[in-house]
Amino acid sequence: MRGLARYAWRSLVARPARTLLTILGIAIGVAVLVAALGVDSGLDVSIDRTVASMVGRADIRVAAFAETGLSAASLAQVEGVPGVALAAPVIERRTFLGSEAGRPVSTEPVTILGVDPSLEPRVRDLTLVRGTALAAGDGPVVLVTERLAASDAVDVGDSMVILGAGAPLRVKVAGVLAGDGPEVGSSGRTVVLPIRTAQALAVADGETMPDALAGISRIDVVLAAGATPDAVIATMGRTLSVEPYVLSVPRDVAATLRASTADVRATMALLAAITLFAAAILILNTMSMTVVERVRELGLLRAAGAGRGQIVHVVVMQALVLGAAGSVAGLLLGVMLAEVAAAWLRASGSLELDGPSISPAVLLAGLVTGLAITLVAAVEPARRAAGISPVAVMRVRADPGSLVRAHTGWLVAVVAVIGVVAVLLMPGGAADRSGPVRALVVYAILLTAVLLTPALLGPLARVVGLPFAAFLRLEERLARAAIRRDPSRTALTVGALIVGLAMVVALASVAGSARNTATSWLADVVPGDEILTAIAPAPVGDGGVDRQVAAIDGVLRATPLASFDLAFDGTRLEAVAIRGADFLADGRLVFTAGDRATALPALDAGGAAILPASRAARLGIGLGDAIAVASGAGLVQLRVVGLVDRSFPGRSGDAVLVGWGDAVDHFGVAGADSIAVRYAPGRQAEAQPQVEALARELALTAAPISRVAGAVADALDRLFGLLDLLALAAVVIASLGIVNTLSMNTWERVRELGMLRAAGMSRSQVWRSVLVEAGILGAIGALVGSIAGVAIGALLAGGGASGWSGVVVPWPAIGLSLVLGVALAMLAAAQPARMAGRMSIVAAVRGE
C-alpha cells in the first residue's frame, strides 16, 4: 500500500492549484462551522453569566406582577414558606441623576437597586474595587458601578443627586462596584443603595414614607439545604395571597434568554450547514475530476493487477489528505472568524455576548465534520474509479472520462450526512421544534435545485447566453458546447454557486421581512410622530403629562401608553393601556374582526379588550369572547371587541390592548410609560422644540418616529450584515469550484482548442470563450439560486418568532446575486482562460 500511497500523494501534488483550492474550500466550510459553534457556545456562556449576575445564588425569584410592587406582607409570607432560608427584597427603579457643579451633565438614566445590606451579600457578590460596602442601618450612601463612576466622574466620598418622585435625594458614594455591576441591561449605569432609601425615592412631595416596606420589585429566595425549588414553589402557590406575583427559577431565566437568541443561532447554524454543503459539492466535483483525469492510469493499474479496493484506497487517501489539511486550516480560520462574528454581534447591539467560546469540543467537532464530509463526498468518485475496467479504458480512445462521470445523485447522501451533523452539533436554543424541520426543508430546496440543474442546463444556458451571443456569437456557442460536455460536472459547479447565492437572496428576503415586521407597527399602530418615553410611570389625565404636552400649540394629540402584564389562563400576556378615542381619531390599528368605530370606544368604556389576531388564534379566542384575567382583587372579565392585524410588539408576540380605565382600576397601572405625540399638519417644525423642551423638564426622552424606525433598521442591517458575510463564504467556495472546473474543461478540450487555433481562431477568442462559459455558469447559478432563495426566504420569514409577514422578493439582492454570480465566475475563470489562450497549437494537437 505504501507505494500506491506515494502515487496518491503525487497525484495531489501534480495539481497544486486544484489541491490548494479544494483545501481552501474545505477550510472555509469548517471555519464557518467553528465560528457558528463558537458563537453559540459564547452565547451560552454569556447567558449563564447573565443569569448568574441576575439571580446570583437565588434559587427562586418572586417578582411583582403589578406596577405597585409587592408589600411587606408578601415578603413575610415568602419568608414563612417552609424551605426558604433567605428572602432578600429588592426595589428596582429607573431615574436620572441630578446635575452637580463641576461634573458632566448626564442625560442617560440610571437603574436604582434598593437592597437589604444584610441580606443581599448572601444572594450575590457585590465586588468592590474601592470603598466600603453598604451596611445595615446605613442612611443615604450608595455604591456605583465602575462604568458609571467613569462616565459621570464620581468616586468614593463624592456626593450625588438622585431624582425621585419627590425632592431630589442627595447621597454619598461609599464604594465603587467592579465592571457593570449586578444589573444586566442597565448599560452599566447602576446605583445600589439601602432598600428603605430606594423606597423614599418613590415618595412624592406631600406624602409620608410608609413604615413598612412597600413597592418591592422582587424577592430573591435562597432555599435551605434539602429544599427543592419545585416543592417550595408549590407551597408558595398555596400560600402567597396578598398581591399577584410571578415565580421564576434560574433555568427559566436562562431559557427565556436562550429563546431570545434562538433565531440568530439557528440562522448561523443553517448557514454553517449550507457552507459545508457547498464545500461537499466542491470536494465531490474535485475528486470526480481527478478520477476523470487519471482514468487511463487507473485502468492501467487495474490491468497491472491492482484490486478495486486498492483503487478505492488511493482515492480515499487523497480525500483524507485534502480533508485533514482543509479541516486544520479551517480550525485556525474559524477561530478568527468566531472573534469577528462575536465582535460584529456585540456591535449590532442585538445580543449580549462577551466573546466566542472555542472549546476543545468545538475544535474536535470542526475537525471531525470536515473529515467526515470530505470522505463522504469522496466515496462515490472512489467507487466509480474502482469500477473502471481496464478493457473499457483501452477501448474508449476519444473520451475515457465519459466512463466515470460524476453522479450528482450522490449529493443526497452527502446532504443526509450534513443533516445528521447539523442535528447532532447545532444549537438547541430554539424552543420552537419547527426549526430543524425548516432547516431540512431548506436543504431539500437546495438539493432539488442542484439535482434539477443537469436537466435544465441546455435551456437555461441558451437563455442566459443570449446577452453574450449578441456580441460574442462564436465564443457563446463554444461555451455552451463546453457546458453540455459533462452535465453532471457542470451541475456540481453551478450547484455550489446556487447554494451560496440562494442564501444571499434568502437572507435579503428575511431581512426585508424582518424590517417590515419591525417597522410596520410604527406606521400601523403608533398614533404619533414622536414618542416621549418615561423611565417612571408618568401621571395621566388632569395635570398629567399628556395634558401638558397636548396643551402646546401645534400638538394635535398626546396619547398615553403603558405596558403591563396580564395573567390569563396560566399564561402571562403582554398588554398595553391605550385611549381608544385617540386611536380612533388617528386612524391607527388595522382591524381584522370587529368594527373600529365601536371597538375603540368600548375600550374607553371599560370591560373590553382588543387582541392581535395572531395571539387570539394561538389562544383560541374569537370576537365577542370573554376572557377572565387576574387582577389584584380577583378575576376581571374583558370582552373581546376587536381583533387587529398588528399591535405593540411584546416579548412573546403582539400585546393585548386594554382601556386606561381598566388598566388603572384593575391592573395597577400607575401612569404612562410613553406618550405618542401627533402634531397638527404642518405644525411639527414649530411645535417639536417646545415638546422636546417640556420632555426634558419632565425627565422624558423624546424620539421622533423616523429615528426609532431608523434605529431598528440599522440594528437589523448590522445583524444581517454578519449573516450575509457567512452566506458569501459559500459563494467563495463556489468560485473555487469554478476555477477547478474550467481548468479541467480546458484540459479536456485541449485537442479541440488546438484544432480551432490551427484553423484560425485567435488567442483572445479562445480565452473569451472560457470567460463566456464562466459567465453563463454564473448566470445560471444566480438565476436558479435566486428562485431557490426567494422560496427559502419565505420559509424562514414565516417561521420566525414574529410570525408570518408575507413574502418579500428582494429585487436588489437578486440583482446583486446576478452581478456577483457572473462577476465572480468570470473572475474565477481568468486563470484558466489565460492558460487556454496561451496553449501551444502543436502541443495541443499532439494531446500533450
Partner 1 sequence: MTPQLPQVPVTRSMFGTGTRPALPILEARMLTKQYRMPGEVVEAVRGVTLGVMPGEFVALMGPSGSGKSTLLQLLGGLDRPTSGEVLLEGEPIGRLSDSDATRLRRERTGFVFQSFNLVPLLNVVENVGLPFTIAGQDPRSAELAGRIREAIALVELTGKERHKPDQLSAGERQRVAVARAIVTRPALLFADEPTGNLDFTTGIDILNALWRTCVDRGQTVVLVTHDAKAAAYADRVFVMQSGRVQDEIALGRRDDHGAAPLIARLAQLGL
Of the candidate residues 35, 97, 301, 600, the single one contacting partner 1 (CB under 8 A): 301
CB of 376 vs partner 1, minimal distance in Å = 25
- Least spacing, CB of residue 745 vs partner 1, in Å: 20
CB contact at 8 A, 573 and 565: yes
* 8 A C-beta contact, residue 164 and residue 121: no
The yes or no reply on residue 260 touching partner 1 (CB under 8 A) is no
Q: What CA–CA distance (Å, rounded) separates 196 from 201?
A: 9
Among 302, 313, 438, 515, the residue binding partner 1 under the rule CB under 8 A is: 302
- The answer to whether residue 11 forms part of the interface with partner 1 (CB under 8 A) is yes
523 scored as a contact of partner 1 (CB under 8 A): no
For residue 386, what are the contacts with CB-CB under 8 A and spacing of at least 6? 308, 309, 311, 312, 315
Candidates 281-289, 302-310, 666-674, 688-696; binding stretch for partner 1 (CB under 8 A): 302-310
**CB nearer partner 1, residue 390 or residue 544:** 390
Residue pointed to by grid coordinates 424551605:
83
Residue type at position 64: A
Q: Which residues neighbour 18 within 8 Å (Cβ) at sequence distance 6 or greater?
A: 286, 289, 290, 740, 743, 744
Report how far residue 368's alpha carbon sits from residue 327's, in angstroms, rounded to the nearest whole number: 8
**What part of residues 358-397 is at the interface with partner 1 (CB under 8 A)?**
390-391, 394
Residue 801 near partner 1 by CB under 8 A: no
CB closer to partner 1 out of 122 and 751 = 751
Closer CB to partner 1, residue 137 or residue 305? 305
Q: What is d(CA 765, CA 762) in angstroms, rounded to the nearest whole number?
A: 5
Among 102, 157, 226, 305, binds partner 1 (CB under 8 A): 305
Give the pairing type, strands 656-659 and 626-631: unpaired
Residue 219's CB is within 10 A of a number of other CB atoms, namely 25
State the minimum distance, in angstroms, from the CB of residue 758 to partner 1. 21
303 binds partner 1 (CB under 8 A): yes
Least distance CB 307 / partner 1 (angstroms): 5
| Contact present, 633 and 31 (Cβ < 8 Å) | no
Binding residue (CB under 8 A) for partner 1 from 225, 304, 398, 633: 304
Positive/negative CA dihedral, 584, 585, 590, 594 = positive
Select from 210, 237, 307, 624 the one that contacts partner 1 (CB under 8 A). 307
Nearest approach in angstroms of CB 491 to partner 1 is: 27
Nearer to partner 1 among residue 390 and residue 704 (C-beta):
390
What per-residue string of b and e applies to 66-103 under the rule 16 or more CB within 10 Å gives b? bbbbbbeebbebbeebebbebbbbbbbbebbbeebeee
Please identify, using beta-carbon distances, which residue of 310 and 520 lies nearer to partner 1. 310
Least distance to partner 1 from the beta carbon of 390, Å?
6
CB of 389 to partner 1, least distance (A): 8
Query: Measured from the CB of residue 322, what is the shortest distance to partner 1 in angstroms?
Result: 17
Size of the site for partner 1 (CB under 8 A): 24
The residue from 306, 538, 630, 675 that contacts partner 1 (CB under 8 A) is 306
What pairs with residue 414 in β-bridges? none
What is the rounded CA–CA span in Å between residue 134 and residue 174? 7
Q: Phi-psi region for residue 69, left (φ > 0), alpha (ψ -120 to 50) or beta?
A: left
2 binds partner 1 (CB under 8 A): yes
Nearer to partner 1, 238 or 397 (CB): 397
Backbone angles phi, psi at 445, to 5 degrees: -65, -45
Q: Which of 235, 214, 216, 128 is nearest to 173 (CA)?
A: 128
Q: Which residues are registered as beta bridge partners of 248?
A: 61
**Cα separation of the two ends of the chain:** 30
Question: To the nearest whole angstrom, how small is the minimum distance from the Cβ of residue 791 to partner 1?
Answer: 41
Should residue 747 be labelled a site residue for partner 1 when binding is judged by CB under 8 A?
no
Counting contacts by CB under 8 A, is residue 308 touching partner 1? yes
Residues whose CB falls within 8 Å of the CB of residue 268, separated by 6 or more in sequence, listed in order: 35, 36, 39, 40, 341, 723, 726
Q: Which of 10, 205, 398, 470 binds partner 1 (CB under 8 A)?
A: 10
Nearest to 33 by CA among 734, 824, 730, 718: 730
Question: Could you say whether residue 17 binds partner 1 (CB under 8 A)?
Answer: no
Q: Which is nearer to partner 1, 12 or 284 (CB)?
A: 12
Q: Which CB, 296 or 346, lies closer to partner 1?
A: 296
C-alpha cell at 185: 441591561
* Residue (396 or 709) nearer to partner 1, CB: 396
Answer yes or no whether residue 3 interacts with partner 1 by CB under 8 A: yes
Binding positions for partner 1, 280-299, rule CB under 8 A: 296-297
Between CA 848 and CA 843 the distance in angstroms is 5
Q: Which is nearer to partner 1, 9 or 344 (CB)?
A: 9
Q: Which residue has the cell 408575507?
A: 806
Closest-CA residue to 462 (of 107, 780, 162): 780
Q: Which residue's CB is nearer to partner 1, number 763 or number 846?
A: 846
User: Which of 11/248 has CB closer to partner 1?
Assistant: 11
- Please give the sequence-ordered ranges of beta strands (E in DSSP) within 224-302, or none if there are none: 245-248
Among 300, 456, 715, 835, binds partner 1 (CB under 8 A): 300
Q: Nearer Cβ to partner 1, position 13 or 423?
A: 13
Contact between 845 and partner 1 (CB under 8 A)? no
Closer to partner 1 by Cβ: residue 7 or 344? 7
Contacts of 778 (CB under 8 A, 6+ apart): 497, 738, 821, 822, 823, 824, 825, 826
The residues that touch partner 1, with contacts defined as CB under 8 A, are 1-4, 6-7, 10-11, 14, 296-297, 300-308, 310, 390-391, 394
